[in-house]
Amino acid sequence: MRILSLNAWGGTLHAPLMDYLAAADPDILCLQEVVSSAVAAADWLVYRDRDVELPQRPHLFDEIRAALPGHDGSFHPTSRGELFDGDRAVPCEFGLATFVRRGLPVIGQAVGFVHGAFSPDGWGPHPRARNAHCLRVFDYDRGFAVTVAQMHGLRDVAGKGDMPERDAQAEALVALIRQVWPGHERLVVCGDFNVLPESRIFATLAGLGLTDLVVSRGFADTRTSFYRKPGRFADYMLVTPEVEVVRFDVVEQPEVSDHRALLLDLR
């Protein structure tokens, strides 16, 4: 089974992103920073926050769904705010998306906020609301169930260090996982956690038997050349001992975001 986790960066690198997702062909695709709009007419809009301007694909969720016709997709927004077509504001939603190959039945799932609450009238103040999605699927061909959880961790302007809000976020993620995962079977937890390798979140997740694959396998960078700030860790993938890792990679090429994709083949 192949699991892929990636912060999609709102589709800023749209053409290489779409090509890569179709070629990677994961069984379960976990995406953070996905945009969706029911009303946008343009293919490109602009996100504006103080001195930051970033091109975004307002129909990114639908575009990925079309590129993966053999998968079922679900979108889980954290907020609805404004992107811009010139000076015209266009309402768009922002959040997580998960795609599961058809033929892998979803036999349990939960989605919920791990920080803050849904904001229907703007992106909200920093640190903005964040959510997580956990699902359990059964693989008929291989005869086992696996639970996969993804999270987009809160971003704080002060940096990626530990703080009470991140401690509470970790506990909320564990509680969400426990709603779905029966224990003593394969569990994978992934996403853009927005923390450093020494963060307390890893001790919390170790209580579920989870071990991080990024740092433990010697990877020192989860960002691409499009990210020009210090602190090269953000994305992680953790597994329980029941997971047999056939292959794990923090993908350097192609660059499809300011984050690298995390790719896991498991038995």
Cβ neighbours, 10 Å, residue 208: 17
> Domain range holding 151?
2-266
Which CATH number do you get for residue 75? 3.60.10.10
Give this prediction's pTM: 0.97
* Number of C-beta neighbours around residue 2 at 10 A: 16
As a whole number of Å, the end-to-end CA separation of the chain is: 6
Digit-coded pLDDT (tens) for 27-47: 999 999 999 999 999 999 999
Residues of the chain with pLDDT under 50: none
Helix (H) or strand (E) holding 168: helix 164-180
Domains: count for the chain: 1
- Condensed to tens digits (0 to 9), the pLDDT of residues 183-208 reads 999 999 999 999 999 999 999 999 99
Helices (H), the chain: 14-24, 60-67, 164-180, 201-206, 213-216
Q: Taking a C-beta distance cutoff of 8 angstroms, is the pair 244, 267 a contact? A: yes
